[in-house]
Amino acid sequence: ETGVTQTPRHLVMGMTNKKSLKCEQHLGHNAMYWYKQSAKKPLELMFVYNFKEQTENNSVPSRFSPECPNSSHLFLHLHTLQPEDSALYLCASSQAGASGVGNTQYFGPGTRLTVL
């Protein structure tokens, strides 16, 4: 595997379900990100992890719970979601702290989430 992978690619869940999204990066990076991309809205940064520590939470509702067990893996745990949470969830990674590269982020293919 190369780059950034995400599983599952598609997920349909009810509002009472609990599910998790998984992201894995094979680039040796130390920073990982979750973004939400909704129809007709700009890309929204949700969470940032640097060296496994959460450094940014952009006022994301608590029904989204991230987990970063190591620099290569990032999870997004979902519970009691709402239909408006349906979106494409994108994971990205970068080499945090490396100057001169501008924090180039590399994205996974995304998980298309539908909440019924």
Partner 1 sequence: AQSVTQLGSHVSVSEGALVLLRCNYSSSVPPYLFWYVQYPNQGLQLLLKYTTGATLVKGINGFEAEFKKSETSFHLTKPSAHMSDAAEYFCAVSDDTGRRALTFGSGTRLQVQP
Between 72 and 80, name the residue whose CB sits nearer to partner 1.
72
Tracing tokens 């969830």 back to the chain, one arrives at: 89
Q: What angle do CA 9, 65, 31 make, to 5 degrees?
A: 75
User: 108 or 115: whose CB is closer to partner 1?
Assistant: 108
Give the range of 12-20, 64-72, 75-83, 101-109 binding partner 1 by CB under 8 A: 101-109
Applying the rule CB under 8 A, the residues between 31 and 50 that interact with partner 1 are 33, 42-43, 45, 48
Residues 3-32: x where in contact with partner 1 by CB under 8 A, - otherwise, as a string: -x-x--------------------------
Interface with partner 1 by CB under 8 A: which residues?
Answer: 4, 6, 33, 42-43, 45, 48, 56, 90, 92, 96, 99-110, 112
